[in-house]
Structure 1
């Protein structure tokens, strides 16, 4: 049987796997589904149309699936979808999506989300990310795989953060952060590329050299963004090992709006 503490309030319509553990005084609503092996700590509230996958660890005092902080929201059945093997620490607040976007706030797999992280409506978070304490995402923010956000990072609505990028503590993001970029400041500025992170993930010296070349094209060669994209495409075609990384960067830049731009 599911290990539900007697003081927890779990709606009879909630779909909870028999291996799930629910701590004292937690409240779980009728439209919640929780997969095998997940543990929910005490004093949590999980509500709305929320789906949580396998083997997640949800610590005390988290609020998952509340309605968006959006005045336009009028009770539509939007969703929060959380994948597998995520760690969600104390006082995290993840809202459901809104009808003005896809209607889904989504968190992938194997993420490490520290205390007081906020995901507003329609945020999309990839896999293997680390959000340090008090990282705050406004609505419609998209975060790629392997991103690291330093503590107290604040992200403006609709900003996109590319895979393998990293922010320093107290960074304030108003513009898109391309893949691999390390940034810092208020507003954030590009400082370098996340070379150490790439080494830890097994990037070869050739691939890291290509990332250095992309950094030079974007930030050192005084090129327009369009010109830099063309040079990055040439870099990817020069050697098969570099094609995927160059395409990751080029595709990201193609989706950056001229009004928002990238961190400089």
Structure 2
């Protein structure tokens, strides 16, 4: 369902910019906390109860997957009720920038810069801070982490909220470059899953590498035939599962 948080971030940014004139880059500071709170509350009210009532971790994962699909359509339809089903867009930093003979849209360069900074900050947070280490421990082995004094329910809720926050920030950045619509979340959910598998499950650096590779492939295919971009992603995904199912940096 995190693709829907991307959609929410995009529409909140669009609304703040078009109705109130708030700079889209300033919107990042608004979207992040708002989407984090939504994700945190969802986990505490829905997924915590589901986790307690599940007979095993495997049952919880299966139930969570079904619940996430339900949330996907609920959030999508709520967005349609609020903002309508039409495609929305706005113009921001759309002028060209020439770098070494190559021309880029300024908004894409700004988005790239912010994405790199946000990704590095999040990586350092997970790798260097006490809370980040608790999140990694809870994700890898919740039972052992609980025995070591980690409040599993609280940490997992924070983890879900942070995931929603990152998705919301991504949506804000995406809205500066492309048109948005309430059904856009599913496409990004699929892309995110392919990136995770491509990089290797549980590997943060692998996710960055996987995202970079997928972005390059998508850009090349889009240049040749825009309609084949998602087809290329699926083909790459299937080949990866056949050749190296653990991913690039997976173990």
Q: TM-score, normalized by length of structure 1?
A: 0.24
Higher strand share: 1
Q: Which has the higher contact order (CA 8 A, sep 6+)?
A: 2
